[in-house]
A and B are shown apart, each in its own frame.
Chain A
Amino acid sequence: MAEPAFKPGAAVRVRDLPVKGHMRTPAYVRGRRGWVERLHGAFPNPERLAYGADGLPAVPLYLVRFPQSELWSGYGSAGDSLVLDIFEHWLEPAEV
């Protein structure tokens, strides 16, 4: 597996890649900022598996925590957060 680009605690922003075919990054999180909780490991890319390919090389998959206030304007409870599994090619470094 390739060396993971992000370490736990890293601030990341979800890339707004064009929608085509199958992807597992929901629209509401694209362009939003979160923090890497942990690395799950590396897994075959589902966007390639979806067309019958082997999905290799495996892509690092992270658990990313998003404050709800980063996702929804006017969200009321400051301490609430959401965690999502996001593949590495959807992430870029973010400013804190």
Chain B
Amino acid sequence: MAMRAMHDMGGLPAGPVERDEHDPSHAERRVDALMNLLRARGLFNVDEMRRTIESLPPEIYERHDYYERWLYTIERLLIEKGVLTAQEIEARLAADG
């Protein structure tokens, strides 16, 4: 059996596909806009984004939805690229309380 990464779920046992749609929330729209702006600025490419989302810790990947994973991915890439530090992000979150 081939080794598979966490996101590589094709063919694994699963229940019925959830087909309900929902309108994106304001927060989700902002995450989408942020991702697109950062890519348009050339900060990272789509494969770097995918590599990052696919290597999120399982406890984050499994427990969060689509745009929440994007948000973690943006944070990690901003740190990896030296745009922000983890300390700066933590400090800002603490300030926003």
A31 to B5, CA, bound (A): 16
Chain A nearest CB, measured from B3 CB (Å): 4
Would you call A31 and B2 a contact (CB within 8 A)? yes
* A31 partner residues in chain B, CB cutoff 8 A: 2
B2–A16 CB distance below 8 A:
yes
Could you say which interface size class chain B belongs to? 10 to 19
The count of A-to-B residue pairs whose CB atoms sit within 8 angstroms is: 46
In the assembled complex, which residues on chain A have CB atoms less than 8 Å from the CB atom of B1? 27
- Known interface pairs A22-B54, A26-B10. Does A49 touch B48 (Cβ–Cβ under 8 Å)? yes
Q: Could you list 16 A-B pairs, sorted by A, with CB under 8 Å?
A: A19-B4, A19-B8, A21-B51, A22-B51, A26-B10, A27-B2, A27-B3, A27-B4, A27-B11, A28-B10, A30-B2, A46-B47, A47-B47, A50-B47, A51-B48, A72-B11
Shortest beta-carbon distance from A18 to chain B in Å: 7
What is the interface of chain B, defined by CB distance below 8 A to chain A? 1-5, 8, 10-11, 44-45, 47-48, 50-51, 54
Residues on A with C-beta less than 8 A from B8 are 19, 26-27
New contact pairs (12) apart from A26-B10, A27-B5, A50-B50, CB-CB < 8 Å: A16-B2, A19-B5, A21-B51, A22-B47, A22-B54, A27-B10, A30-B2, A49-B48, A50-B48, A50-B51, A51-B51, A52-B48
Q: Interface of chain A, helix or strand or loop or mixed?
A: loop
Chain A residues with a Cβ under 8 A of chain B: 16, 18-19, 21-22, 26-28, 30-31, 46-47, 49-52, 55, 71-72
Min CB–CB distance B17 → chain A (angstroms): 16
